[in-house]
Structure 1
């Protein structure tokens, strides 16, 4: 684990990918094979990282649990985390695994293609959970009490362990797939009816082995499959939050799309922060949609 001057307890844990995002953006529409002028940036990213950064902007104190290499890229990334207000005391720093990376290309018409290289996170496996299972954050006898944000870059076997392990028995699990290609890794949370799932329409379809045309139908189908609570988004069309007590559907604000990578993570973080502030379910959903729309427009989500 890394050293830090602040050992105060975090109020949320973000478990999953913390890596470098390498994003190429063009202001022109792009198709397969397009070669366009644009900008290429390298920023701290990963689902867990994006959620943690947004939570910090909303005034929460998140700790990230992930695997980061002891290479120069890893040292830079840990330093960047600290500057962004994230606690890095509980990171697993590997001597032999490189720091993970994500690469995406975006055009005016949205995401064109992306590759997530989270092999080091997958290889580290349950080592990243040691602070939660063996202390100091918690153990099977003294589970962590509070919200835990999980992302689908974790292996299926690890997500299944989290869904059933006594060290998470009192945790408020908030779970999101890293991408549609990894949506099926969330099945343990359907099987064991644990946590709150944050998915888009495509991911909901993959989990239910079906196709949906709206967020409300998808949310109801996920509940029927065993989900305890879900939030389903459908881009600029709608978003639905649902559990056994009922559901609510809202339409996000209309904005000009300037970026898409990280929008779902922003939505999830803003929703968690809104509920932590004590907002009711309708207000929390509205707050999350507003933050995501602001982010997509190119502005900070505050």
Structure 2
């Protein structure tokens, strides 16, 4: 494994996804396909970054149970660095479960209780000198997801361990978007949100991605990328604002789309693409993913 080119901090778990081409209503019982695959926001991002040629390191909590051993083995096969994972004897490996129908996501449950219970133990390599310390903080890219507790995210916003990082942050879901409030004014942070998540973070409703991104920058965010499904995406900061529409596609799946977008954008900028090029690249990669042409 090469020297780390990005740390991925957050959920590393099993995704259990049920998909059906049928429309579903409350209580529906329809034929479909069920898959169990490595997932979680941090892991989804890491897998996509690895395919793009980067060397991701995972910081998370994985149980010392059968599912955890299997998950770590799969991560190693994918070329991911698992050496810094917190392996817990008393916390089970987390799981995400979702059902997708003809109209997209029907419902989902994220059981990330073990990650939350592990707390700042997952950050030990950033404190003890293996990846950094308070005196010599990690200086590179870090992808951080909102499955961490609100308390831990607030600590990260003030921590010297993250003072030198290029911090890229995404909520794990709209329900966890408000956890990111402490990071809103953190220097060196880029937020990746959809329009709903941006609205929850700003506590207002936005009509489009541009208005959402501009509002969050006005509230102190250093840089914000806001997506809006098939509508235009906005990349905004105090210095510039760029809006671009994604390619039109038939949507076959939605779980992992946001993670795919974030990873593709990070990889593009790591390659030296400018903001316009990086956004266009991320939109093209995400379009291929949601249409079923590529997989996480």
- TM bucket (normalised to shorter chain) is over 0.9
The question of 1:248 aligning with 2:246 is answered: no
Q: 1:133: which partner in 2?
A: 127
Match of 1:10 in 2: 4
Structure 2 CA distance for aligned equivalents of residues 53 and 25 of structure 1: 21
- What SS does the aligned partner of 1:9 have? coil
Would you say 1:224 and 2:212 are equivalent positions? no
For 1:165, which of 153, 159, 170 is the aligned residue? 159
* Residue of structure 2 in register with 1:3 after alignment: none
Matched, 1:202 2:196: yes
Cα distance in 1, alignment partners of residues 35 and 232 from structure 2: 30
Contact 2:165 2:188 in 1 (8 A): no
Unaligned ranges ≥5, structure 1: 1-5
Could you give the per-residue CA deviations for residues 228-256 of structure 1, whole angstroms, max 9, x where no partner exists?
Answer: 10000000011100101110010001111
Say whether residues 1:54 and 2:53 are aligned partners: no
Partner of residue 118, structure 2: 124
Question: Could you tell me how far apart the structure 2 residues matched to 1:74 and 1:193 are?
Answer: 35
For residues 84 and 194 of structure 1, the distance between their equivalents in structure 2, rounded to whole angstroms, comes to 29
Deviation at 1:9, TM superposition (A): 2.2
Residue 196 of structure 1 deviates from its aligned partner by 0.3
Shift of 1:201: 0.3
Q: 2 CA distance for matches of 1:283 and 1:163?
A: 29
- Secondary structure of 2:248's partner? coil
- Deviation readout 1:253-284 (Å, 9 max, x if unpaired): 11111110000000000000000000000000
- Residues 147, 171 of structure 1: 8 Å contact kept: yes
Q: Any residues of structure 2 matched to 1:1-302 within 5 Å, and which?
A: 6=1, 8-300=2-294
Shift of residue 193 of structure 1? 4.6
Deviates more, 1:81-90 or 1:160-169: 160-169
Q: Secondary structure at the match of 2:182?
A: helix
CA distance in 1, matches of 2:112, 2:183: 22
Structure 2 counterpart SS, 1:42: strand
Aligned to 1:77, the other structure's residue is in SS state helix
Q: Offset at 1:163?
A: 1.4
Which 4+ stretches in 1 moved above 2 angstroms? 191-194
**Corresponding residue SS for 1:254:** coil
Residue 291 of structure 1 contacts residue 301 of structure 1 at CA under 8 Å; is this kept in 2? no
Q: CA deviation at 1:80?
A: 0.6
**8 Å Cα contact 1:193-1:226 kept in structure 2:** no
Residues 5, 54 of structure 2: 8 Å contact kept: yes
Q: Assess if the C-alpha contact under 8 Å between 2:185 and 2:222 holds in 1.
A: no
Q: Within 2, Cα distance between the matches of 1:98 and 1:84? A: 22
TM-score by length of 2: 0.98
1:225 and 1:193 mapped to 2: Cα distance? 13
Structure 2: distance between partners of 1:301 and 1:74: 22
The CA distance in 1 between the partners of 2:24 and 2:277, in whole Å, is 37
Distance across 1 between alignment mates of 2:186 and 2:266:
22
8 A contact 1:28–1:107 mirrored in 2: yes
- TM-score if structure 1 supplies the norm length? 0.96
Q: Deviations over 1:162-212 (max 9, x none)?
A: 112111111000000000000001001114355000000000000010001
